[in-house]
Amino acid sequence: MLQANVKKLDGTKLDHGNFHTEQAAMDWFQPLIDKGVYGQKYIAERFEDFQVLVTPAVYEETEILDENQQSLVPPQFEQVEITPAVYETENRKVQDEVLAAFVIEFTDVTQQLEQNVINEEAQQFLNESDWKIIRHQDQQSLGISTSLTGQELQDLLQERQMARTAIIK
């Protein structure tokens, strides 16, 4: 089992998941990087100062002047024509940047997952056998005959110790 971690180039972890193969992880995350959650945020940041490039459009020069005859229209909107060809070129550049801005790292977590199963089973055994130990101690304290023989108690204590030893955090 592989754990795939999607990170920005600065190391910020964005997402993760467990997959049987790298290809399965790529099939899952690549569309998110290309056009989804990660890519759109990056594209929005990339075009923050170049809003006219986000969608193909034509902006005509607008005469909006202040009292000093200075244009009030931001420069990026003045007489800018974005043809479909220019848009496609700019869009491809940004998509290439998006693809280069993220990385998917893989870690083999098979052993960790197997250990997690061992830990859960051992902890479950300890939880489920606690009452036998407590009952035995209570019976001894009350001076009544115990449900467990000496050998059964020793066997149970040894099994519990083996379970504790099997747990690795």
Is 57 strand, coil or helix?
coil
Helix 84-100 × helix 37-46 angle, to 10°: 120
Q: Would you state the pLDDT for residue 57? A: 41
Q: Would you state the pLDDT for residue 31? A: 76
Q: Would you state the pLDDT for residue 82? A: 62
- Mean pLDDT, residues 148-158: 96
- Mean pLDDT, residues 68-91: 62
Q: Would you state the pLDDT for residue 121? A: 97
Per-domain residue ranges for the chain? 2-108, 110-166
Which tops the pLDDT comparison, 21 or 129?
129
Instruction: Summarize pLDDT for 26-73 with one digit per residue, the tens.
Output: 888 777 776 655 655 555 555 543 443 444 444 444 455 566 766 655
**DSSP-derived secondary structure for 129-156:** HHHHHHHHHHHHHHT---SS-HHHHHHH
Phi then psi for residue 7, to 5 deg, are: -130, 150
Q: Indicate whether this model's pTM tops 0.75.
A: no
pLDDT category at 5 given cuts 50, 70, 90 is: confident
- Mean pLDDT, residues 92-99: 68
